[in-house]
A and B are shown apart, each in its own frame.
Chain A
Amino acid sequence: MSDQLIDLLGQMVIQSLLAIGGINVILGELQRVLVAENGWLTAQEFTSLFALAQASPGPNTLFVTLIGWRLFGIGGGLAATAVFVAPSIIIGAIVARAWTRWSEMRWFVVLRRGLVPMTVGLVVSSAILLTLAAASGPISWVITVAAATLSLTTRLPPVAILAIAAVVGVAGLG
């Protein structure tokens, strides 16, 4: 295994453990590590892979699969996915045994409610970073705002909104 692959897999374990509240929380951090710090991906590649993961059916975890694939081929994609979900399996197994006791404890409620402000801040940060990375001109801003508005005000599924955006792009407006 190359050093870079080991680095990447190590990062995925760390990222998985930091993703308290889901993968949206760590998008900003992933971008910092993969694009800004190590230069493994360009900002453009990062956002295209994210777009591709969003356009595929299935959990957002697929973004990690695609990052591994982009850097190390199919094997890299599978390995990145495996190490990214491994900590969850172990933690899930432990919690599954104790969960009914936990859910009634006061510290658990405190932890759950108390962490919300931080989670909100992290997801907003991820949203800002992705918006900036995707912004390539006035039209991309219009699309971002339109997608957010459609998602908030209509019942359109996310994939429909992405499909509309794809059509706009193919039509040459983007």
Chain B
Amino acid sequence: MFRCWLLIGVTGFGGVLPVVVHELVTRRRWMTHEEFSEVLAICQILPGPNIVNISVIFGMRIAGWAGALACLGGLLLLPVIIALTLAIIYSGVADVPAVQRATGTIASAAAGLLIAVALRLFWPQRGNPVAWGVGALVIVLVIGFRVPLLWVILGCAPLSIGLYLWKARTHV
């Protein structure tokens, strides 16, 4: 199990989720697709990085605390070492103009990738006026007024859920 998550950690570039599905469900059959969707759904409403939550819950269900630590350790060990190595190499060559230009363009591309993620999340909600309204409100608060996230969540989560319930009620 540790080895499996080790593999997941190293092979997942810029988003580990597809690799997790491939390894746990398709290749090793440790979980069915339905089980995995349920775990994922729960992890999406839990605080913390989703993938960390998934590895802990998965490990816990199979082998208790030892399992949880094995999965999480496997997931993080090599990537942390690799990222720190890259960072140290980078800090050694950060003054080289070509490296500076590359960092700039990679940062621009990384922002573009995040825009793509945002659009993919938004697309299924495009016909939902609540998503437009709450989404716009969140953006104005976060960017326009730089409101701390805690207040944004405390204010907008009840609003988001309340409007969802109200909309569900008026549609049945």
B115 touches A162 (CB 8 A): no
Closest to A160 in B: B13
Provide the A83-117 mask, 1 if CB < 8 A to any CB of B, else 0. 01101110111011101101100001011111111
Contacts of A112 in B (CB 8 A): 41, 44-45
Most buried by A among B107, B116, B139: B107
Partner of B68 from the list A74, A89, A169 (CB cut-off 8 Å) is A89
A125/B139 in contact, CB under 8 A: yes
Q: Is B136 an interface residue (CB 8 A)?
A: yes
Encoded as 1 (CB less than 8 Å from any A CB) or 0, chain B from 2 to 38 comes to: 0000000111111110000000000000000000001
Known: A127-B117, A140-B104, A157-B13. A69 touches B48 (CB 8 A): no
Inside 8 A of B11's CB, which chain A residues have their CB? 57
Bound Cα distance from A59 to B101, whole angstroms: 25
Q: How far is the CB of A9 from chain B (nearest CB, A)?
A: 15
**Is there contact, CB below 8 Å, between B146 and A143?**
no
Which among A95, A120, A143, A145 has the highest number of chain B CB atoms within 10 Å? A120
**Contact: A134 with B111, CB < 8 Å?**
yes
Assembled-state Cα–Cα distance A29/B51 (Å): 20
| CB–CB A51/B160 < 8 A | no
Interface string of B51-85 (1 = CB under 8 A from A): 11100110011000100110010011011101110
Q: A49: nearest residue on chain B (CB-CB)? A: B87
Main secondary structure of the interface of B (DSSP, over half): helix
| B153 engages A118 (CB within 8 Å) | yes
B residues bordering A, Cβ < 8 Å?
9-16, 38-39, 41-42, 44-53, 56-57, 60-61, 65, 68-69, 72, 75-76, 78-80, 82-84, 86-87, 90, 98-99, 101-122, 125, 128, 130-131, 133-139, 142-143, 146, 148-150, 152-153, 156-157, 159-165
Binding site for B on A (CB under 8 A): 14, 16-24, 26-29, 32, 36, 47-62, 65-66, 69-70, 74, 77-78, 81, 84-85, 87-89, 91-93, 95-97, 99-100, 102-103, 108, 110-131, 133-136, 139-141, 143-152, 157-159, 161-162, 164-170, 172-174
A-B contact pairs, 18 of them (CB 8 A): A20-B45, A20-B153, A24-B118, A51-B109, A57-B11, A58-B76, A65-B83, A114-B165, A117-B128, A117-B135, A120-B118, A124-B118, A126-B114, A127-B117, A130-B110, A144-B108, A147-B112, A162-B113
